[in-house]
Amino acid sequence: MTDSTSSNYDFLVSKADLASNILNEVVSREIADGEALLSVDRFAITANNITYGVAGDMIGYWQFFPADEPFGRIPVWGIGTVQESKAQGVEVGARYYGYFPMSSNLVVKPGKVGAHSFADQAEHRQALPPVYNQYALMTDENGYPAAHDNYQMVYRPLFTTSFVIDDFFFDNDFFNGKQVVLSSASSKTAFGTAFLLKDRDIKTIGLTSTNNKAFTEGLGLYDQVVTYDDVAAMDNAVPTIYIDMSGNRAVLENIHNHFADQLVYSCGVGITHWESRDGADPQSLPGAKPQMFFAPSQIQKRNADWGPAEFQSKLSESWLRFIDKVDSWVTIGETSAPASLENVYLTVLNGPAPDHAYVLVND
């Protein structure tokens, strides 16, 4: 529930109850030497951000933008404009894409400043994965045309995860699996992965709810679409990979029991079913033991294998193919923050329609 409509705000959620939230008025502070103040112009809210909240303590997402207990600030991907700068090389008026809080402003301490990016070197962020501390200059020359702004916020972080999931399994010869099952198949990370798997010699199966089955089939990306109550319809005589976007333990249990020893890899990625955490201990289930997938680890491996420039080139080629298709599947809607922020956040928290995405624009 909101308690302020100030233009300078932080949107805070209870770490213990993600539905409980407040809009907190913020008093701006003077920036110090070496710092810059960015206005948060716009940001997207997707199921991925809900995963950040659910896994906030496990993976450290609450630490990026600290708040007073018992609240936290869920990170989002967005675009900010430099309003004030005491950091060399970071110019007032420049626009940057990166990790932001659901807030009106963000103070950063730019380091490793280059012609195309900087890293926030604020002390509290230094132990966190570097990929989340990067801010990219939003220019055509840097590969960020203004026409792609909303795609960048809604899809780029999710598609990057899809890209490295696809690459991880390709890099490991799919662990000799012959088919891939993706839960929450209507989610953006899942169908981004399925889009890339279309180029691989492997069968893809989308696992989804009855309500989302028609949408998932309409994507044309899956060889088979199965609902959660029909797991037994899948061929369990074939070596199978499970990519778990849902985090639903009951579904995980059904998958492992159905495929048993034919389950060659079980990969946890998302927690779209964040409220469904009851079920058997995952480590007690038959088949391959579930493992969490952490995208930055594969990114770091490929940066070492290929070099950062080649990694970005490969990602960009796939990205451009993807955004050429995605408008036929999902509509991106813009709405105002902070006025509509709580409503949009709760809509995403409770499971939005898969054919719609949300961008918040700060007034």
For residue 3, tell me if it sits in a domain.
no
Rounded CA-CA distance 46/190 in Å is 13
Q: Check residues 277 and 322 and name the one with the higher pLDDT.
A: 322
Looking at the whole model, is its pTM more than 0.85?
yes
Residue by residue, DSSP assigns 160-227 as HHHHHHHHHHHHTGGGG-SEEEESSTTSHHHHHHHHHHTTSSSEEEEEE-TTTHHHHHHT---SEEEE
Q: Are residues 242 and 185 part of one domain?
A: yes
Phi–psi pair at 71, nearest 5 degrees = -100, 165
The predicted-structure confidence for 164-193, as pLDDT tens digits, reads as follows 999 999 999 999 999 999 999 999 999 999
Q: Are residues 92 and 134 part of one domain?
A: yes
Residue finishing a domain among 245, 271, 296: 296
For residue 306, tell me if it sits in a domain.
no
The predicted-structure confidence for 72-96, as pLDDT tens digits, reads as follows 999 999 999 999 999 999 999 999 9
Of 225, 229, 223, which is closest to residue 198 (Cα–Cα)?
223
Q: Average pLDDT of 17-39?
A: 95
Q: Residue 89 is part of a domain; what is its CATH number?
A: 3.90.180.10
Total domains, the chain: 2
Q: Are residues 161 and 129 part of one domain?
A: no
Q: Identify the weakest region by mean pLDDT among 4-13, 168-177, 233-242.
A: 4-13
Whether 245 and 205 have beta carbons less than 8 Å apart is answered as no
Q: Are residues 133 and 88 part of one domain?
A: yes
Q: What pLDDT score was predicted for residue 274?
A: 45
* Residue 278 binned pLDDT confidence (cut-offs 50, 70, 90): low
Whether 269 and 245 have beta carbons less than 8 Å apart is answered as yes
CA distances from 76 to 48, 59, 79, 344, 361 (A): 9, 15, 10, 13, 13
Whether 333 and 347 have beta carbons less than 8 Å apart is answered as no
Q: Are residues 213 and 104 part of one domain?
A: no
Residue by residue, DSSP assigns 290-311 as PEE--HHHHHHHHHHHH-HHHH
For residue 46, tell me if it sits in a domain.
yes
DSSP-derived pairing of the beta strands 9-14 and 71-72: antiparallel
Rounded CA-CA distance 302/313 in Å is 12
Q: Are residues 124 and 188 part of one domain?
A: no
Residue finishing a domain among 278, 296, 314: 296
Q: Check residues 180 and 50 and name the one with the higher pLDDT.
A: 180
Q: Are residues 167 and 276 part of one domain?
A: yes
Sign of the alpha-carbon dihedral angle for 301, 306, 309, 314: negative
Q: Check residues 135 and 280 and name the one with the higher pLDDT.
A: 135
Rounded CA-CA distance 215/213 in Å is 5
Residue finishing a domain among 296, 313, 345: 296
Rounded CA-CA distance 175/323 in Å is 29
Q: What pLDDT score was predicted for residue 341?
A: 97
Q: Are residues 186 and 89 part of one domain?
A: no
CA distances from 182 to 91, 119, 148, 193 (A): 43, 34, 27, 9
Q: Are residues 262 and 191 part of one domain?
A: yes
For residue 136, tell me if it sits in a domain.
yes
Q: Are residues 176 and 51 part of one domain?
A: no
The predicted-structure confidence for 190-229, as pLDDT tens digits, reads as follows 999 999 999 999 999 999 999 999 999 999 999 999 999 9
The predicted-structure confidence for 305-324, as pLDDT tens digits, reads as follows 999 999 999 999 999 999 99
Structural domain harbouring 274: 157-296
What average pLDDT does the structure give for the chain?
93
Q: Residue 215 is part of a domain; what is its CATH number?
A: 3.40.50.720
Q: Are residues 182 and 135 part of one domain?
A: no
